[in-house]
Structure 1
Amino acid sequence: MHNGRIFTLVGGIFGLIGLVLLCVGITLAASTASFLSSAERTDGTVVALTERTTTTRNSDGNARSSTAWYPTVEFTVNGRRYSFQGSSGTNPPSFEKGESVPVSYDPDDPSDARISSFWTAFLAPMIVGGLGVVFTPIGAVLFVKGRRITRLRAWLRDQGQQVWAEIEHIGRDFAVRVNNRHPYVVHATWQDEGTGRTYTATSDYFRHDPGPDLHGRTHVRVLYDPADPDRNLVDLDARHP
């Protein structure tokens, strides 16, 4: 059984980020709706498409580039020409140069304007809010899982049944990444004398190889739930009597 603090910490971070994104998305949507409700409307023309390329790095450290095109729109109010660049870029471009688009502008300050189509006006709030909708439940699930694991570990330490399990394997868990590295784990097995069934317990994650710290030990203490031996805890600190 792995340490619940990791799930609790990651869940708390994801949940907090999700709530912040939700709040930002709702605020952006409310601000946009308020602007559109009081804005004047006219037609504008897309006069340019500006290409922007951003570079990010994934969990493996590899660079990844993405490109989006942002429209520049011109429109006229009372004989005066104004222009603005759309706040949202897309790939492929959502507009073509020379295309006519609806424009909403502040009648007291026509330089404050935006494309007034629903998808263009609310794209940013929807993206930010959508990320919040995704992050918040993920964070909640991880946080709850972490708390359950923490309570179970405490119960196992207090009431779990003890067995000395044979160390079967010490090595990296290549199915998991922690801080962009595969952590080390200890696998230990024991056989239930009543059922004859063999169970395997997995230790917490380790950043470094725990093998040298075991000093040649062949067995480790495992605390398990007699009603469900798959609920277990590897205690590497205990010494075999």
Structure 2
Amino acid sequence: MRNGRFFTLVGGIFGLIGLLLLCVGVALAVSTASFLASAERTDGTVVALTERTTTTRSSDGHTRSSTSWYPTVEFTVNGSRYSFQSSTGGNPPSYEKGEGVPVAYDPDDPSDARISSFWSAFLAPLIVGGLGVVFTPIGAILFVKGRRIARLRAWLWKQGRQVWAEIDHVGRDLSVQVNNRHPYVVHATWQDERTGRTYTAVSDHLHDDPGPRLRGRTRVRVLYDAADPDRNLVDLDTSPSPS
């Protein structure tokens, strides 16, 4: 059985990030709606497209680049000319140079302006809030799973049935990477005397080779739920009593 602390920790982090993103998304949406409600409207013209390239490095070490084009819009209020660069870019570009666009501006400070189309105004709140909508339930699910695993482990330590299982594999779990390394696991099997079925228990992920910890032992203690032996945990620290 995997250690529930990992799921609890990751779930908590995801949940907190999700709630933060939701709050930021809502705040951005409210701020934008408030600005548009009090803003004056006019027509502007896209006078330039600025290219921005961002580079990110993924967990597998590969570098990825993405490019977006941000429009610069020019407009006139009371004979004075103003310009601003939109905070929202696109790939492909959402606008063309020379294209006319609706502009919303603060009548007390026309330099505070933005494109007043729905997507240009609300794209950032939608993206941030959408990420929050995704992160929050994922975090909640992982957190609840971690707590359930922790409760089951505590129950198994207190009330689980004990069996000495034969170690049949010690090695790395190639399906998982932690800090770019495959953790070690111990597999142990035993046969249920009541049903004759063979069960396999898998230890927690281990950072170091468990060989020295096992000290040549061929069996490990497994604690399991008699009603469902697949619910089990491996105890690597308890040695069998001398016969």
Shorter-normalised TM-score: what interval?
over 0.9
Matched residue SS, 1:17: helix
Residues 128-181 of structure 1: CA deviation (Å, up to 9, x unaligned)? 000000000000001100100000000000000000111111111121222232
RMSD of aligned Cα (Å): 0.8
- Once the two structures are TM-superposed, the CA of residue 73 in structure 1 deviates from its matched residue by 0.5
Residues 179-208 of structure 1: CA deviation (Å, up to 9, x unaligned)? 232211111111111111110101001112
Judge which range, 27-36 or 165-174, deviates more: 165-174
Separation of aligned partners in 1, 2:198 and 2:158:
24
Matched, 1:66 2:70: no
Matched, 1:228 2:231: no
- Once the two structures are TM-superposed, the CA of residue 92 in structure 1 deviates from its matched residue by 1.1
Separation of aligned partners in 2, 1:175 and 1:113:
51
Gaps of 5+ in 2: none
Residues 93-137 of structure 1: CA deviation (Å, up to 9, x unaligned)? 111111111100000000000000001100000000000000000
Alignment of 1:1-241 (within 5 A): 1-241=1-241
- 1:85 partner amino acid: Q
Residues 10-64 of structure 1: CA deviation (Å, up to 9, x unaligned)? 1111000000000000000000000000000111111111111111111112211
Separation of aligned partners in 2, 1:176 and 1:134:
23
Q: Is the 8 A contact 2:161 2:226 kept in 1?
A: yes
Q: Is the 8 A contact 2:55 2:66 kept in 1?
A: yes
Separation of aligned partners in 2, 1:181 and 1:105:
53
Gaps of 5+ in 1: none
Q: TM-score, normalised by structure 2?
A: 0.97
Matched residue SS, 1:13: helix
Q: TM-score, normalised by structure 1?
A: 0.98
Matched residue SS, 1:2: coil
Separation of aligned partners in 2, 1:127 and 1:22:
10
Separation of aligned partners in 1, 2:219 and 2:213:
13
Separation of aligned partners in 1, 2:88 and 2:171:
47
Residues 67-95 of structure 1: CA deviation (Å, up to 9, x unaligned)? 11111111111111110000011111111
Matched residue SS, 1:111: strand
Separation of aligned partners in 1, 2:174 and 2:221:
24
Identity of aligned residues (%): 82
